[in-house]
Each structure stands twice: as structure tokens, then as C-alpha cells.
Structure 1
Amino acid sequence: MQNALVLIVEDEMEIAEILQAYLSKEGFRTISAGDGSIGLAHFQRVKPDLVILDVKLPGADGFEILNWIRQRGDTPVIMITALGEDLDKLHALRLGADDYVVKPFNPLEVVARAKAVLRRTMGQTQEPVLRVGTLVVDPSAYQAYLSLPDGTVMLQLTRTEFRLLEHMARSPRRAFERSELVDACLPEGDALDRTVDSHMSNLRRKLAAAGAPELLTGVRGIGYRLGLGNG
């Protein structure tokens, strides 16, 4: 999945640019088209690993493009539909779409769906579970919990809290600067150092309530650390 090429066919430039930014941050290569006919030309030229395809497009609409792709192969396609257009969703699935998202959407959700579709279609196994002391983070299941002697305690986290926890769990005991956590985990418009502090405060409270008050700590003048410094 690493370095997979994603073709984004979306006529709203702002949406296309946001998707490109978030996908690039996760290691994907991207190419975009704002017109259905140009999107088809790109598809034939670059042979992408995944297509993110809007339904309503100038040139050729998303259903035409999806049908054309399905007649020639099984490249995974995620359709973008308008809010409340249930017939569009059904039609997309009947034509062979692998998944769909509804506008307005969170770009982090689109990235998560892209990863899930590529795991299925490229035959990849699930991402390994991350363990830091009693904390267990399962990126594939989007779950985090504490494994304690007397049982398992699930953590009820927001999307951003989970991303922060997952990111830090990949490098336990490392001190993360606030700016790095902003770049890696926070959506645009939410990217302020003090916002990180707010999310971290909530995370520390939830970990403490679940039975791990010392797991997430502040590092003076730097940021935060997940996991005890000596273990």
C-alpha cells in the first residue's frame, strides 16, 4: 500500500487539493483531474492503484467512468456522492464501486477508507496491533483499550484522539513536539498548539479514568511522551 498511486477525479478544486494533501501525508502518490474526460485519460496513462471518483462531473460523469473502468478491470474505486442521494449510492455499488463517501466528509475518513479498500484489493494483512505497557491500539479495527489483570477497558476516543494515540504508540517513550503532532494528526482548521494541549488533556483524563494515569505525560518545553521513560 505504501506509495500507492491514487487518481482523484473531482471538479471542486478545493476538495481535490484537500484530499491530495491528506493522502500525501499518509504516503500515497496522487494525481487529480477536474473533468471526467481528463480523468479517463489520466486513468489510461498512469494506471492508478485506486480511484476516488465524484459522481457529478463535467465531460463524463462518475457513473460512466466507473462503468468504463469495470468493463476493463478491477481497479478499486471509491465514489463521492452528495448528501441524501441514496439512489446514487445504490447505483454506484451495483456498477461495482468498492466503497462510497458522502459530501460533506472528513478527509481523514476518506484516507481510512482508501487504506481499507487497498488492504482488501491488494491482499494485504491488517496493520499490526500496537502495544505500550497496558495500552493496546488496533489501527485496523480503530480501537484502543487497556489490557489490565482484571479485564479489558475500552477507551472511548474521538477521531483526533485516536490518531494522536496511534501516532505516538508507533514510537513509545519518544518525546513528540507539539508541532509534529499538529502536522501528523490534526485536520486543517484545527492545527494549533493549544488545540493539541486540549486533546492531550482529554486523552490523559480518559487514560487515567481507565486505569493508566502515568501512561501519557508532558515533556517540559517539548511536548508529550507515551509510555514510561524507563520501560
Structure 2
Amino acid sequence: MVRILIVDDEKEIADLLEFYLQNEGYDILKVNSGEEALQIINNHKIDLAILDVMLPDIDGFSILKQIREKYFYPVIMLTAKVENMDKIMGLTIGADDYITKPFNPLELIARVKTQIRRTKLYNKDIEPDSIDINGLYINKNSHKVNLYGKEIDLTPLEYNILLYLAKNRGNVISSEKLFTNVWGERYLDNNNTVMAHIARLREKLNEDARKPKFIKTVWGVGYIIE
């Protein structure tokens, strides 16, 4: 599902955007300040951002600059300002579109769809650089893992186990296949290494051993992230 971040300190506008975008089937994250926006940006997978320029703490241009230091998803600037220099500045920094208030919600929806369509066409053969699974965020570039916004300290081996299961999300991975692909060695039937590392990984993810949320055991078969 496409996830859209809405950043606007005017609650009525943010709620209006959320209503229209949710009706189109998009997953919405909505915040009212720049600080909240940066926390979401750094800890969640975002597919498109609608960013107000005038915020109470950090202006939209500064947030846009920080987005463009790491990410390439579309950003639509939303503002009451109509000066051409503001539009030029936003587009120069890296905004993909610019809409002034008041606006027609249906026009904004159309522009959102255009940006998402362009992104999908451009990135259709590019593997994403991050994986987001219900609050578990894996950044493949930095090799960092965040759980509900808090960084989890994993060993390189634990990270590789988690990444392999996440990349094969929805598929049951046997202990043999996991060991062969992560350790790069021949698996022996009496090898309990995988089980021990899965247990340690679950512990770091604060998993309930009886009802794990992320790494589930399919008894007699292997492990799966659903």
C-alpha cells in the first residue's frame, strides 16, 4: 500500500487531505509540526510527502532539504504563499510539485496520482533500499533497524538473518535454507545455530515467545515473516 505523509499545522486542512487520500486507498501518516515530521521521515517508509512550507517550528524548506539528503520519493509543497521565488526555491531544493492554498482537493489528488505513477515507472526495476513491516523498519543502506522509532542493536549476523526473512516475507524459510544463504556454509541436521540466533533476535525485538509478532515458527518447516 502507498503511504503518504501529510505535514500541515492547520488541522482542518490536514484532516481534509487525510479524508480524500484515504478514500483513494492510501495509507496516511499525519503530523502538525516539523519535529514530528522528521521523526516519521527517519523511521518509516514513505512513498510521497505533502509538506506545508509554514510550520510552527521548522519551515518546510528545511525539512525538504533533509529529505533530499537521503530519499528520492516525491514531495508536494503546500503553502499559502504565492510568490514565484518561493516556488522556484522549493523546486530548486527538490520539490516535485507546488500547490498554493486554497486548493481544489480533487486537483491535489490528481497530482498525487501523477507523482506516484511517475515514481513507479522510474523505479520499477530498482530494489527498494528499505523494508517497513508494521513498525519494524530495516534500512539496507545504513544496516540499521528501528522498531517503533527506536533503533535496535543487532550483530551483523542477526541483521542478515532478519533481512533475509524480510526480503522473503510471506514465504516459509527452512533452517537449512536460512543457514545456507546467511552463513554460506553446508547445513547439518543437528545444527541448532539457527534456532539459537532466532531466539536471540526475537529477544531483541521484544517478541513474545508464544505469540511472536514478526518472526513466526512453522513447526517442522521453518520460519516466516508474514
Q: What is the alpha-carbon distance in structure 2 between the residues aligned to residue 87 and residue 116 of structure 1?
A: 24
Which residue of 1 is the match for residue 4 of structure 2?
Answer: 6
Residues 83 and 104, structure 1, Cα contact 8 Å, conserved in 2: no
3-state SS of 1:42 partner: helix
Which residue of 1 is the match for residue 110 of structure 2?
Answer: 112
Q: What is the alpha-carbon distance in structure 1 between the residues aligned to residue 104 and residue 92 of structure 2?
A: 25
Which of 87, 90, 93 pairs up with 2:88? 90
3-state SS of 1:30 partner: strand
CA-based RMSD: 1.5
In structure 1, stretches of 5+ residues that fail to align are 125-231
Q: What is the alpha-carbon distance in structure 2 between the residues aligned to residue 95 and residue 102 of structure 1?
A: 17
Q: What is the alpha-carbon distance in structure 1 between the residues aligned to residue 51 and residue 72 of structure 2?
A: 15
| Structure 1 position 51 matched with structure 2 position 49 | yes
Which of 28, 36, 39 pairs up with 2:37? 39
TM-score by length of 2: 0.52
Summarize deviations over 1:119-147 as a string: whole Å, max 9, x none: 111117xxxxxxxxxxxxxxxxxxxxxxx
Summarize deviations over 1:43-62 as a string: whole Å, max 9, x none: 11222100000001122110
Shift of 1:83: 4.4
Shift of 1:85: 2.2
In structure 2, stretches of 5+ residues that fail to align are 123-226
Residues 81 and 88, structure 1, Cα contact 8 Å, conserved in 2: no
| Structure 1 position 80 matched with structure 2 position 78 | yes
3-state SS of 2:121 partner: coil
Count how many residue pairs are aligned between Structure 1 and Structure 2.
123
Q: What is the alpha-carbon distance in structure 1 between the residues aligned to residue 18 and residue 73 of structure 2?
A: 19
TM-score by length of 1: 0.51
* Pairs within 5 Å for 1:84-163: 84-123=82-121
Distance 1:107 1:122, change over 3 A: same
Shift of 1:84: 2.2
Percent of pairs with identical residues: 48
Amino acid at match of 2:73: T
Which 4+ residue blocks in structure 1 deviate beyond 2 angstroms?
none
Residues 37 and 59, structure 1, Cα contact 8 Å, conserved in 2: yes
Q: What is the alpha-carbon distance in structure 1 between the residues aligned to residue 106 and residue 69 of structure 2?
A: 30
